[in-house]
Chain A
Amino acid sequence: MSAGFLDIDCVKYACTCGLLKTLQQLYFCRYCSELRCTFCVSHEVDSHFCGKCCENLPSAEARVKKNRCVNCFICPSCRQELSTRAASKQPANPEESKATKRTYYLSCLCCRWSSRDIGLPDQTAATGSWPKRESIHSNRIQEIVSMYKGLQEKEKLDKEFFKKKQKEKIISYTDKTGITAAALRKRIGLPEDKPILKPKNAVKIVTPSKADENIDDFDEEVLTKSINLLEITSIDQRLLQPDVQPKEISNIFPIQKILSIKRSLRCRRCEHNVSKPEYNPNSIKFKIQLFAYYHIPEVRIVTVEPLRAGQACELILKFTNPTQHQTTVSFLPFDSPIEVKEAIPEEGAISQEDSLEELDKSSLTPSKKKSSSGTKLMSLVDTHITLTTSRSSARALSPRSIAESINCTVDIPSSTFILPPRDDAAEYDDFNEVHNIQDDKKLVVWRKSNKAYIKLVVTPNEDMPIDTTVTTGFTMSHLYTNTIASVADNKKPQKFNHNMRVILKLGKSVGLN
């Protein structure tokens, strides 16, 4: 998760779902214009590949191969990847052929385990020829599965038969008038009605398991023979091979490597991708990457005066605009409400109202009628309501409250400041620095290209003991320019204020001087 030196968690942003993450860990959905994090997006498997040989497998093929690579193995002793080693074998009879035969075995470069340790014969081909093992019980289990499948099928047929029989019991009108159904069918020219047959019992019943009275799972040898720990497998080594779970180290077997996947992330609300990798396992690039780092102004702590309980101190923050559009940043108190766009689409809201009306109607119905079928009616209405709401709000995850307590107040400045757009060329241009920006000198200390240094005054709480971590926060509001709509409809880029909470960890409080 960590993104190296940039990812210092002094400054955290509150994601729309309420979790605190650093800017590098966040995504920004351009369609909903909301922050997203790995917790509140839905993950999808994009492509399968082997982490060792980088072979790309289509998902259907991966499934057939049980999500394991055919060619790569891991060490059954230490789980590291095994490497294929070549050995040249001199032919037994030198006159027979002059060419030396190459054979291959698997060896672990980490723990020196090799496939020769367990007596596995060397293979003549480097890949694909290692013997595979099947569970000894698989036939029996297959039989049991097909028996249960058959039983359930039979149960279903029996039920249908019963239903048909019930239907037959009802005397039809034609029967009363003397014309039997069979005669009528004949007259119309329909084929003769076949009597319903009871479905045949074709399930092959497996011989049930026989319980045994004699158990012999105690080995007398254990009482006298001393054991060598190096010859006994640990529980992790046993569980690597669930079917055998070998007790001795001589029975372990190379294990096929499990495939890895590439994931794409999708916003839960609008179902647009926020991150999509390229298909090729060798490529580390993305097709789609909506990282918040490219859209949201970055806040960094520059300096902070010593923090003393109850005393105001100066805090300088650096704001950087990563976008190609000029933005205006203003401050709001930390607990100012942030409007989250309604998760419920309008249709849902309307149908909910409808169902509420229905509920009213049902309560208006005469009590006599209600007493007979009241409960049923109510429950029907209930389900209707829950169904309509469940489609939208109930199934969506509700945001949680922010799990961080603020023990330091910020004097929220009333003025705003402008951040110019990012200009990559400006980095190389030291002299031509012209600002035509009228700044509030109290707020902006200094600025350069797309960065601004902002002075804030913070006051730690009065009752704070020495050496507690001082946490402060504010709501940052910045003008966001959405270019998505302009591309689609040839309109001007939409501009609106985007608010988010920022939490700063300023360090430990100190005593009075």
Chain B
Amino acid sequence: MPLYEVEKSTIVLDIGTAYTKFGFTGEPVPRSIFRTQVKSKGQLRSLLDYQDSQDLYDMLVDFFHDIYFKYALNSPKDKPIVIVESLLCPIIFRESVAKVLFKHYGISSLLLLSSHLVSLATLAVETALVLDVGYKEAVCIPICYGLPMINAWQSLDLGSCSIHRNLQSLLYEKNSGAESLSEWILEDIKVRCCFVTKRSRAEQLSLSKPELGPCPEVKYPVEGNSILRVTGTIREKAYEILFDEDNDHLCLPTMILDALMKVNVDLRNQLAENILLIGGTTMAMGFKSRLKEELLHHMKEERYRKLNIKCFKFHASPSKENYTAWLGGAIYGATDWLNTKALTKDEYFEDNRLPDWSDLKYNTRRP
């Protein structure tokens, strides 16, 4: 690659609740993926555990300091940056990010991209239903011809966090002392031992006396002095929380169906045949096939009879699911958008605010 081309590459960030994806525009893979954590006042804290805006500001300063001087090795001043964010990102978080970047680090422009929308760029399609299952929540937004259908969005607090809670309670039944396991050990158990089982097995497991042989048990060593028994049932049931209907009869598959119910009749089939799964949680073994099984099962229910969908098709992006949104940002950031659509320093300082789609001041059609 010639030198001048490299010169132009810009930082792309996808700040997730659990992991931050960092890389440069135009590159196919993020440079590094690391935990969204900051060392503040002597202890590691998650960036999203902030107490107030001042606390968040201080943590973000440290966070971006690490990004610029540990990973990017670049001075931030007068350089653009691309950040991929969820449409449902808290306003205080967005505003603080902009404040830190513009005021503290003096960047020249900030391009904020919606994670669901840009994920489609990796596929080169315009219409798809994007389901993002991350750490804290699962968000489903249909995108039709490059426009997110905000009226049809669905979200549930299902994600890694709820799986970890479920796993913890399951472990607690079999092992004493499991209640004090740290989040990272739980995550490690989940990643290395657990998987999403088939629907037929899950039904059996939910009975009081399942008529099937459980899968082999795993003995998981904790901190070198004790051993956790991760039984076969636990391994299979950890992910079940995603597919169990809650009191409102909602779960991961119904989110997709509910979103389909809310869009135009003509688009429903097209969206069902273009489903894109993003977010690290969807990388679990068996997740996609189970989701398809569940979708077909729920289609038989009375409430979804109207849908009249015969098959569901899933896209495979040229990336791992946990950085698909980042890759979308890297593709967008490599184009001219970085110059034309980004929020520049002068625009930001005009009223010290970030344009927001939910704010009518910015989101009205101008004559």
Contact = CB atoms under 8 A, between A and B. Distances in A.
Whether chains A and B associate is yes
B68 to A, nearest CB: 8
A213 B71 contact: no
B210 interface: no
Contact of B198 (A207, A218, A232): A218
A2 B189 CA distance: 36
B350 interface: yes
B275 interface: yes
B346 interface: yes
A239 B19 contact: yes
A455 interface: no
A189 interface: no
A157 to B, nearest CB: 12
B216 interface: yes
B335 A145 contact: yes
B124 A147 contact: yes
B191 A48 contact: no
Contacts of A229: 192-193, 218-221
Nearest to A141: B28
Interface in B99-116: 102-106
Taking each of B1, B9, B29, B283, which has the highest tally of chain A beta carbons within 10 Å of its own beta carbon? Answer: B29
A188 interface: no
A46 to B, nearest CB: 9
B320 interface: yes
Interface stretch (A62-70, A445-453, A462-470): A62-70
B113 to A, nearest CB: 13
Interface residues of A, number: 67
Contact of B320 (A140, A223, A232, A242): A242
Nearest to A244: B320
Nearest to A142: B28
A27 B52 CA distance: 28
Contacts of B275: 211
Interface stretch (B72-80, B150-158, B173-181, B301-309): B72-80
Interface string B248-291: 00000000000000000000000001110000000101111110
B16 to A, nearest CB: 12
Interface string A132-175: 00010110111011011100110010000000000000000000
B28 to A, nearest CB: 4
Contacts of B188: 234-235
Interface in B151-200: 187-188, 191-193, 195-196, 198
A245 B188 CA distance: 14
Contacts of A400: 54
A43 interface: yes
Contacts of A442: none
Given A135-B29, A211-B315, A400-B54, A148 B193 contact: no
B318 A137 contact: yes
B327 to A, nearest CB: 7
A43 B318 contact: no
Nearest to A63: B6
Interface in A190-234: 206-213, 215-219, 222-227, 229, 232-234
A402 interface: no
B351 interface: yes
A313 interface: no
Nearest to B284: A217
A226 B214 CA distance: 11
Interface string A9-23: 000000000000000
B29 A243 contact: yes
Contact of A263 (B69, B201, B216): B69
B331 A209 contact: no
B7 A60 contact: yes
Contacts of B217: 226
Contact of A222 (B102, B285, B287, B319): B285
B313 interface: yes
Contacts of A208: 123-125
B328 to A, nearest CB: 10
B216 A67 contact: no
Interface stretch (B31-39, B83-91, B132-140): B31-39
A145 B33 CA distance: 22
A338 to B, nearest CB: 21
Contact of A213 (B193, B218, B290, B311): B311
Contact of B193 (A207, A219, A227): A227
B123 A386 contact: no
A257 to B, nearest CB: 12
B327 A148 contact: no
Contacts of B313: 211-213
B48 interface: no
B282 to A, nearest CB: 10
A261 interface: yes
Interface in B311-355: 311-320, 322-323, 327, 331-332, 334-337, 346, 349-352
A120 interface: no
Nearest to B331: A145
Contacts of A60: 3, 6-7
A152 B31 CA distance: 26
B65 interface: yes
Contact of B289 (A215, A225, A233): A215
B278 to A, nearest CB: 13
A32 interface: no
A153 B337 CA distance: 10
A178 to B, nearest CB: 38
A66 B74 CA distance: 12
Interface of A: 39, 42-45, 48, 60, 62-64, 66-67, 135, 137-138, 140-142, 144-145, 147-149, 152-153, 156, 206-213, 215-219, 222-227, 229, 232-235, 238-239, 242-243, 245, 258-259, 261, 263, 383, 386-387, 390, 394-395, 397, 400
24 contacts: A44-B75, A44-B77, A45-B74, A137-B319, A140-B318, A141-B28, A141-B318, A145-B331, A152-B335, A153-B336, A208-B123, A209-B122, A211-B315, A213-B312, A217-B287, A219-B285, A219-B286, A229-B219, A235-B187, A239-B34, A242-B30, A386-B350, A390-B346, A400-B54
Identify the 8 closest CB pairs spanning chains A and B, nearest first. A211-B313, A137-B318, A226-B216, A209-B123, A390-B349, A218-B286, A243-B29, A141-B28
